[in-house]
Structure 1
């Protein structure tokens, strides 16, 4: 195998480093150079996705996105997609976009989350790779309560480069410096479906999870498949409404027939022989 002059120079300066270590360190150095060029040319990507579930009344998806100037076509397509989903958008200085998309049911939330990133597959922005994502939000009726489950998988492997180590395969983001956060707010708060663990070498479950009040927030890890899981409970308006109606009918029946019951009891008490 032919060595470049730079590799030969490093090899002469550090003869104690093995060939494999040399290649790994040289690859890391190359990644740092790539990252430096990327930051100098295109800046960073910042995306904050907030999901607010208001119970059976539905909720709203809010997203704040800031990208480099070269990614303007992506922002325009994302803005058009948000309007198709019944949302509103606010575009600022060509690099910042704020979206608000309402939803009704958990199935509607899943559909709109999955459709939100659809323009990314057709974008002409060369610095943004494809981000496969799949959301599934379900609910289960427990009569007086609704149990919801939130599952969201986002593949960010396109934003990382391999380090050559099996224990920690991802070290850098070569094209953009990526900062992605997702938050979930529910009426009574939520709990993670599983603890924050590394499922395998490329999949992270509930990465960098924090809880503040009724909100769970994940800071996604570039270079990995991020799997977000949460379980939450909120009151069922239909269930509590039905229980209230039954209670009112029972109370009305009691007050209507109570005089008759008292009169019958008085008659029985005054005529013990008849009983």
Structure 2
């Protein structure tokens, strides 16, 4: 059995570590829809000094794992600094978004080594329902982010620390026509705010965060077809001064 003095020192160390590591990982994720067939998943990750000082080798392994996953999904990464990483992953349509997003944030089935495991444990999954209305496409997205098991893992996968507010995580949605939150009163409810054409959620640590949003994106194929038909009608009218029967 551990001596009382040793136990007190261990508990004191754990308390100090928990206090020092609060909010030491800033993670911003943005899903940007340009139109029906193009968009980008943009992620910006910054590790605080306290986090990297706590275990610098683990932090390096984690950043390398994120870079590898982005590359496998045909994305690009930029090391802003030794503690800061910028990731951009393009997608071609809604199905491509769902596939790449879920593969990036849930890599368990990708035969990763122990060193490739996420240092901060979070699970996230997105689902997207789309309906084409010729000129525009209506999207309804559902996103679940599980922060109940938030913790810090060692290189061998064992739990090192599990502070409730280790991670400051914002998820944003950028659309050309704006977005509307669905079931705002559903519990738990992440903090929501608008910044220009962006809808941003600040997620709650220690909870299963559920997000639902509806938005429209233009269909350039439909708009182009409507424009061509309109020009044909206009040309006919200007030539014959009457609309075709």
Structure 1 residues 133 and 126, CA, compared in 2 at 3 Å: closer, same or farther? closer
Normalised to the residue count of structure 2, the TM-score between the two structures is 0.75
Asked if residue 115 in structure 1 is aligned to residue 103 in structure 2, the reply is yes
Structure 2 unaligned blocks of 5 or more: 5-10, 152-161
Shift of residue 77 of structure 1?
Answer: 0.9
2:169 maps to 1:180: yes
> Are 1:77 and 2:77 an aligned pair?
no
- Counterpart pick for 1:140 among 131, 142, 156: 131
State the 1:110 CA deviation.
1.0
State the partner residue of 2:202: 219
The reply on whether 1:194 has 2:177 as its aligned counterpart is no
Structure 1 residue 93: Cα displacement: 4.2
Secondary structure of 2:204 counterpart:
coil
CA-to-aligned-CA distance 1:51-85 (integer Å, 9 cap, x gap): 11111241111111123333221211110110111
2:225 is matched with 242
How far did residue 148 of structure 1 move? 1.2
Matched, 1:45 2:34: no
Aligned partner (choices 4, 9, 16) of residue 36 of structure 1: 16
Change (3 A) 1:113 1:246: same
After TM superposition, the structure 1 = structure 2 runs for residues 130-169 of structure 1, keeping only pairs within 5 Å, are: 130-159=121-150
Find the residue that maps to 2:134 and give its secondary structure.
Answer: coil
Task: Measure the CA separation in 2 of the matches of 1:35 and 1:228.
Answer: 33
TM-score computed with the length of structure 1 as normaliser: 0.68
2:44/2:85 contact within 8 Å kept? yes
Do the aligned partners of 1:38 and 1:176 also contact (CA within 8 Å) in 2? no
Residue 140 of structure 1, CA deviation: 1.1
User: In 2, are the aligned partners of 1:188 and 1:233 still within 8 Å (CA)?
Assistant: yes
Deviations 1:203-252 (A, max 9, x none): x24x0011122111011111111111111112222222222222222233
Q: Secondary structure at the match of 1:130?
A: coil
> 1:86-108: per-residue Cα shift (whole Å, max 9, x none)?
11111244322111111110111
5+ unaligned residues in a row in structure 1: which ranges?
6-29, 161-172, 199-203, 262-275
Are residues 1:100 and 2:88 paired? Answer: yes
Q: Which moved more, 1:98-107 or 1:63-72?
A: 63-72
Task: Give the structure, 1 or 2, with the largest relative contact order (CA under 8 Å, sep 6 or more).
Answer: 2
Query: When you count strand as a share of all residues, which structure comes out higher?
Result: 2
Give the number of aligned pairs: 216
Say if 1:125 and 1:84 are closer, same or farther in 2 by CA, change over 3 A: closer
- Correspondence for 1:272: none
